[in-house]
Structure 1
């Protein structure tokens, strides 16, 4: 009898700027082969998948016909049920995730329990929500991580109006930021946190999430066997 699957919470932006279609497809397809996936968004609102083309549009048409494509609200999430947290590249994250208090509670649970967290590209902005009540301390200070560089963001039309610049936020709040050249596949792992610089880093980041969870599961099983 096969072991039960681990549960992964996939956090999505419901802002009009949406979620990267390609990053989402890659993240969901790879993660769903290893986890039971639950989608979640602010207030359970529908998600806009942006930058679709003819090929992935067909994929989304089929995907949206499934009940599992409907996200639940952050406030209904029981964080203890999930072994991993996954945030695909989401241009909308800076608008509705970066300061979301319900998401902050979820991410804080994963930090306290040292559960694997994987954030990719513009989705890394979602991690900005984990601030102390007085707004002075960030939950990921001292962590090494990556995310979209200023140069990558500067190519976008909305750059001048972005409420959060991920690279600057990380540096200003005690994190250690590192990036590679623009559009390069670049992933950083620090403790239980996995971050990818951009949407191109999706597969590499999610592969590492899968490996980290498998390692943790093996370690737990091993400790039980020794009792």
Structure 2
């Protein structure tokens, strides 16, 4: 049975600032829904396991479409995936055909430092699976290495949350670093489009999306790749 592993943040606060954060809800739900529509089972993992905070901005009325409300109202979804996400030690990479890093500003603090999740991604990729990510979730790609110890994303075509989009949020100085800058510094071939417009980049078995508007597209691209493999 094909399964997908969604990585979500445990970080609930912007460092020392009195500002709440967490996973950007639609980046989890819109990808999850594409998987569900194609009968692909989904599990959620986080750097420490357990509770997953939601970014308050992502559940503002203006951000909550019908799909998000459906997931938000699903008690089992909230209990299994957000209240009790898996810890990395509970994950067997052999069970998954792909890993997906969902975004939200919280990821900027815990994704780059999670060697345990990086090892899961490396194992999934080594067995022929996909590595996918969207928005700030792309910072989870930074610690992933090739078998020879080199940086996984060096030379890879990809995208992720832009410096411009962070400036629009007025959060440039609130985050520990900028996703676009970090991807470029790691040697990635970074591509972007206009702020907050869908942008999905496919480079072999690496699929990335620029922003929340790209989560569904990343899911569709992953399903297309899986269908071609079948």
- TM-score in terms of structure 1 length: 0.85
Q: Which runs of 5+ in 1 are unaligned?
A: 218-227
Decide whether the 8 Å contact of 2:6 with 2:28 is kept in 1: no
- Answer yes or no: is 1:149 the counterpart of 2:158: no
- Answer yes or no: is 1:181 the counterpart of 2:202: no
Partner of 2:16: none
Partner of 1:100: 114
Aligned counterparts, 1:1-227, within 5 A: 5-16=1-12, 17-34=21-38, 35-50=40-55, 51-54=58-61, 56=68, 59-64=71-76, 68-69=80-81, 70-131=84-145, 137-217=150-230
CA-atom RMSD in angstroms: 2.1
Deviations 1:50-74 (A, max 9, x none): 2203554563132456653231101
Decide whether the 8 Å contact of 1:137 with 1:173 is kept in 2: no
Take 1:208 and 1:59, find their aligned partners in 2: how far apart are those partners? 22
- Equivalenced residue count is 211
Take 1:48 and 1:148, find their aligned partners in 2: how far apart are those partners? 20
Take 1:164 and 1:149, find their aligned partners in 2: how far apart are those partners? 12
Secondary structure at 1:49 match in 2: coil
Take 2:76 and 2:22, find their aligned partners in 1: how far apart are those partners? 15
Take 1:184 and 1:66, find their aligned partners in 2: how far apart are those partners? 28
Deviations 1:1-21 (A, max 9, x none): xxxx30111111111121111
Question: C-alpha displacement at 1:131, in angstroms?
Answer: 5.0
Question: C-alpha displacement at 1:114, in angstroms?
Answer: 3.5
Decide whether the 8 Å contact of 1:8 with 1:82 is kept in 2: yes
Secondary structure at 2:74 match in 1: helix
Decide whether the 8 Å contact of 1:89 with 1:122 is kept in 2: yes
Take 1:66 and 1:20, find their aligned partners in 2: how far apart are those partners? 14
Residues 75 and 122 from structure 1, CA distance in 2 versus in 1: closer, same or farther, beyond 3 angstroms? same
Take 1:61 and 1:42, find their aligned partners in 2: how far apart are those partners? 25
Residues 182 and 62 from structure 1, CA distance in 2 versus in 1: closer, same or farther, beyond 3 angstroms? same
Take 1:120 and 1:66, find their aligned partners in 2: how far apart are those partners? 21
Larger radius of gyration between Structure 1 and Structure 2: 1
